[in-house]
Chains A and B, each alone.
Chain A
C-alpha cells in the first residue's frame, strides 16, 4: 500500500513568485488536508478537500488555493509569495472526512 507522497521535497522561491505543491493521496482516500508548519511550530490547518470540493478552510489568505483531482490527488498553490510563507507544507489524506489522517513527509519551501 502506497502512502501519501509529496513533491517536490524541497523548493526555493523568490518573494512575489508563485508555487505549486503536489500531493498523491493514499490509495482509496477521498479526503485531503493541507497544513503549514513553520520552523519550531505546530502545523496550522490551511484547508481540506473532500471529493474535489473545498470542505473547510483555516485562517489563510485567498492567495493560498487548492485543487483536488478526480483521482483524489491534490495541489496547493500559493501566489505572491512572502518571506513568512517559508515553512514545511504537509499534506494528509484520510479514508473519509472523520477518519484518521495519514501525513506525507512534506515539502520544505524557502522564500528568499
Chain B
C-alpha cells in the first residue's frame, strides 16, 4: 500500500535559517505529491504540490521537487520566519482511476525562534 515517511521532529531553527524537511514515499503508481501546513488550532492548508516527476512546487518561499528516482519530495525554504512555525505534512494521492484519498506522513513540527 501507499505510505509517506517524514523526518522526525520537532525542528527548531533561528529566524533566517535554511529549512529542509525530508519526505519519502512508497506508492504503486505515479502519485501526486503535496505539502500541507497546519498552524496551531487550525485545519490543514495546502502549501504546494507536484503532479509528475521533476515538477517543482513552490509557494511563499517554500519549494519541493518531485524526485521519482529517489521517491522523495523534500520541503525547503531559504530563510525561515517566526510566522512559519507550524506542523508540516507530506502527503500523496495515487494516480489511479477513482483515487480519492490522501495518505499523510506523521508531520514535522517546526519552531522558528527570533
Which residues in A have some Cβ–Cβ distance to B below 8 Å? Answer: 4, 33, 35, 40-45, 48, 55-56, 58, 90, 92, 97-98, 100-101, 103-106
- Residues from chain B with a CB closer than 8 A to the CB of A101 are 44, 46, 102
A45 to B100, CA, bound (A): 10
29 contacts between A and B (CB under 8 A): A4-B43, A33-B101, A35-B102, A40-B107, A41-B107, A42-B4, A42-B105, A42-B107, A43-B44, A43-B89, A43-B102, A44-B104, A45-B101, A45-B102, A48-B100, A48-B101, A55-B98, A55-B100, A56-B98, A56-B100, A90-B43, A98-B99, A98-B100, A100-B49, A101-B44, A103-B44, A103-B45, A104-B43, A106-B43
Which residues in B have some Cβ–Cβ distance to A below 8 Å? Answer: 4, 41-46, 49, 89, 91, 98-107
